[in-house]
Amino acid sequence: MQAYKVLEIKQSVFADNDKQAQLLREELKKKKVFLLNLMSSPGSGKTTTLTRTIEALKDELSIGVMEADIDSDVDAKTISDAGVKAIQLHTGGMCHLDAEMTRQGLEGLETEGLDLAILENVGNLVCPAEFDTGSVKNAMILSVPEGHDKPLKYPLMFSICDVVLINKIDVLPYFDFDMDKCREYVHMRNPKAQVIPICAKTGEGIDEWANWLRIQVKAWQES
């Protein structure tokens, strides 16, 4: 039996996405549910990073994950196997999620009693950056093989992220990736962004990232 639901997301009917996002955040605040929007290119390691994040936090936080994908169910199965509530959102070809689509996902996930809801957005560095999903914080993953110049080429994505995880640091010896330059370029786009190098495969750096996330969730619930 499948341990996760699959939900076909409908196009939004609202013209003012920023307003819908703000409303959604206010509702989440009342319910004390922290929503994280996780973005990256295809293949940067979002799902593996989530699996590690769940391992690190599931004993202290109640977690639910929405896996947005154009039409496969690969990721929801992986997350469900990691032992938390998961739902697969099919976007029907759409390249991003907006606040109303995220709301549909949260309703499908059922947030009652959740501390942390995570949206794994569609793998894309362009469009998801343009739509506020209603999340409390935005995170993105840049993987070493993609190159340290990406903040120069995808400015909006880097400017809206509160934290940038630099994944796949185990392969640093095989790529021309300059971590110092990467930090410099990220901070050009957003001086306040946290940059955390990780390796989701080996678990390196996951403690620092989980700690950052834990602090954000607590602050949201207590404020």
* 75 vs 162 by CB, closer to a second copy: 75
For every residue of 58-123, DSSP letters joined together read TTTS-EEEEEEESS--HHHHHHHHTTSEEEEEE-TT-S---HHHHHHHHHHH--TT-SEEEEE--S
Closest separation in Å from C-beta 96 to a second copy: 8
The CB-of-187 to a second copy minimum distance in angstroms stands at 17
37 pairs with which residues across the strands?
Answer: 119, 138
3-state secondary structure at position 198: coil
DSSP state of 136: S
C-alpha torsion sign, points 133, 137, 143, 149: positive
Minimum gap (Å) between residue 49 Cβ and a second copy: 13
- Least distance between a second copy and beta carbon 169 (Å): 12
Q: Which residue, 34 or 185, has its beta carbon nearer to a second copy?
A: 185
Query: 3 or 70, CB closer to a second copy?
Result: 70
Tokens encoding 56: 């690190």
User: Closest distance between a second copy and the C-beta of residue 120, in Å?
Assistant: 12
**In the complex with a second copy, which residue's Cβ is closer, 27 or 73?**
73
Between 69 and 100, whose beta carbon lies closer to a second copy?
A: 69
- Chain residues binding a second copy by CB under 8 A are 41-43, 69-72, 74, 93, 95, 122-127, 130, 143-147, 149-150, 152-156, 168, 170-171, 174-175
Residue 201: exposure state from Cβ atoms within 10 A (0-12, 13-18, ≥19): middle
